Structure 1
Amino acid sequence: MPGWFFPVDQAAFAWFLSRQTDAGTTGDLLELGAYLGRSAILLGDHLQPGESFTVCDLFDSEAPDSENSAEMAMSYRDSLTRRAFEANYLAFHPQLPTVIQAPTSVLADGRIRTGSCRFVHVDASHLYEHVAGDIQVARDALAKEGLVALDDYRSPHTPGVSAAVWEAVFDHGLKPVLLTPEKFYGTWGDADALTRVLLERDWRGEGFRMDEELIAGQVCHRLAKDPAPAPGPAPRSAAPQRSAARRLALDVLPPFATRATRRALRAARARRSH
């Protein structure tokens, strides 16, 4: 299904959620912004008996302000509907989460019990004012040992998210734990404990790249899929090296001229062979 939930974040979500369950940590799950359900489906895989899962999204309803309306029109057009989300989710799970079709700001009214969640995923509006409000909702909802995942914290087209995320770090006590190319993972609780959980897995041995950073006095890690190709047998023979002049010609000539050059080279080689 369409969406932007990439393998490195799928692995990070599954790892943290499963380790919470293994440790006996219980709590509800919350997602702000669901699109068509890719991340919600994975979150639903980790829902334990007695826990609840709430999804809040505008889907195909009206945005609360003109800026948010313009953002929705540019990003989703007619693709984002509640019906599509629910159909996708029910293809993997027997029942839907609690769905709140409304701006995520409605969650600030206390309908999510304070300290009730172990994991919150924020991927709704990219406008600074909205993201700052969503981060506050996540902070209130999370238990002390809970983890928040914030999407698009470094994308060039979402500076409002970056501003809200780093403001939360430097001014509101959010501690970074893990950074991926798309998401920021943090906590207002014990970041060192979550880091230990993160490092229990052999990420490098599974084809990921892991680097350590120090941000605002807090050690965190960067995780990405390792682009290096898997080792394999050496080729039987190396391809002949093209001359610099020939490489330049093939790079800059238009296709019809490149084809003519190749025909001339083949003809010259044929004459030499005779």
Structure 2
Amino acid sequence: MTVTTAPAAQRPRSLNDVKGWFPSLDQVLFDRFLTRQERLGQPGDLMEMGAYLGKSAIFTAAYLRSYERFTVCDLFDAEAPDEQNAAEARKSYSTLTRTAFEQNYLAFWNELPYVIQGPTSVVPDHVGADTCRFVHVDASHLYEHVAGDIDTARTALVPDGIVVLDDFRSEHTPGVAAAAWEAVFTRGLRPICLSTQKLYGTWGDPEPFQDELLADEEWRRGMHTSVQEIAGRRVLRFSGKPAHPAAPTSRYAHEPRDPAPEQRPAPAAPASAAGRRPTTVRRLAADVLPPVVTRAIRRRRG
């Protein structure tokens, strides 16, 4: 597929230039889990269901090994499978297009991920069971769709793989909360930790992950940590704004940015003002001021 180059004004110079919701706390947590998998040599591909304009996908791709596949599924500008989903897309993602996603992604990486343009219900047709080590679920906010996405993630993940559920506690996404906690209480999902925005869990054993996070005081600097208990099981909760981990570098990082409106030079004045017609204020002054005053003003201007 040919991807057109974005106009200079739209080229992302850094990850922060890519529109989306991916706060520094979750960048730190993504880095921690993905780096751990790399350190332990855990096999498996990466997957994201719901990409928007690519902010978290661009970040996640930094941890992709050469022999692995990164699958990204999103409707982008395709037709939604039902009216509820279509209404959600019109309200929250009206500016989302596949072209915009691909232009953002290619500003940081030379090759696109494996893109599935369509509803997440088709993911099992493209991603096999026990093939992924990390799955980020950030697609629909409707309960039925999220519940299906969680089932898809469970099937795709290898033992001790990580699933990340976005918007599990936002006030405008009760369907995500219902599906997330239903998975915890009835489908065997074990929460590892919670951030302000996301739930990190596994269908394996969460305790080795938790023990490492609690033992690393240097890593937790800048974050508030609390240990909760839900139904007799330990859950960590992190909050705060820690320093960002190293983000991927855009190929446009060194391009000059357009100056802010207040920094732009004022329009140049006409080369000569001698031939300008008198303004309304000047004509009015000539009509109402005494002649002696008008002549004095003209002599001074001359």
| Superposition TM-score, scaled by structure 1 size | 0.79
In the alignment, is residue 26 of structure 1 matched against residue 43 of structure 2? Answer: yes
4+ residue stretches of structure 1 with deviation over 6 A? Answer: none
Aligned counterparts of 1:169 and 1:147: Cα–Cα separation in 2: 14
Superposed CA offset, 1:195-214 (max 9, x none): 12333433675211111011
- Counterpart code for 2:141: H
Does the alignment pair 1:163 with 2:178? yes
Offset from partner CA, 1:27-54 (integer Å, 9 cap, x none): 1000000000110011100001211100
Which residue does 1:151 correspond to in 2?
166
Q: Verify: 1:62 aligned to 2:95, yes or no.
A: no
Structure 2 CA distance for aligned equivalents of residues 99 and 2 of structure 1: 19
The answer as to 2:222 corresponding to 1:215 is: no
Higher RCO (Cα < 8 Å, 6 or more apart): 2
Q: Match of 2:28?
A: 11
Contact preservation (8 Å) 1:19, 1:197: no
Quick one: which amino acid aligns to residue 126 of structure 1?
H
TM-aligned CA distance change 1:205 to 1:101, over 3 Å: closer
Relative to structure 1, the CA distance from residue 205 to residue 84 in structure 2 (aligned partners, 3 Å threshold; closer, same or farther) is same
Give how far 1:104 is off: 0.2
Is the helix fraction higher in 1 or 2? Answer: 1
Superposition TM-score, scaled by structure 2 size = 0.72
* 2:192/2:210 contact within 8 Å kept: yes
**Change beyond 3 A, Cα 1:2–1:226:** closer
**Pair 1:179 & 2:194 matched:** yes
Pairing 1:71-90 to 2, within 5 Å after superposition:
71-77=88-94, 79-90=95-106
Alignment partner of 1:104 out of 110, 114, 120 = 120
Q: Does 1:120 align with 2:135?
A: yes
Count of paired positions:
225
Paired AA for residue 29 in structure 2: A
Are 1:36 and 1:80, in contact at CA under 8 Å, matched by a contact in 2?
Answer: yes
Q: How many Å separate the matches in 1 of 2:59 and 2:79?
A: 27
Match of residue 155 from structure 2: 140
Structure 1 counterpart SS, 2:37: helix
**One-letter amino acid of the structure 1 residue matched with residue 134 of structure 2:** F
Which residue does 1:256 correspond to in 2? none
Over the residues paired in the alignment, what is the CA RMSD in angstroms? 1.4
The runs of 5 or more residues in structure 2 that have no matched partner are 1-17, 243-302
Helix, strand or coil for the counterpart of 2:161?
A: strand
Give SS of 1:30's match.
strand
In 1, the alpha carbon distance for the partners of 2:47 and 2:219 equals 30
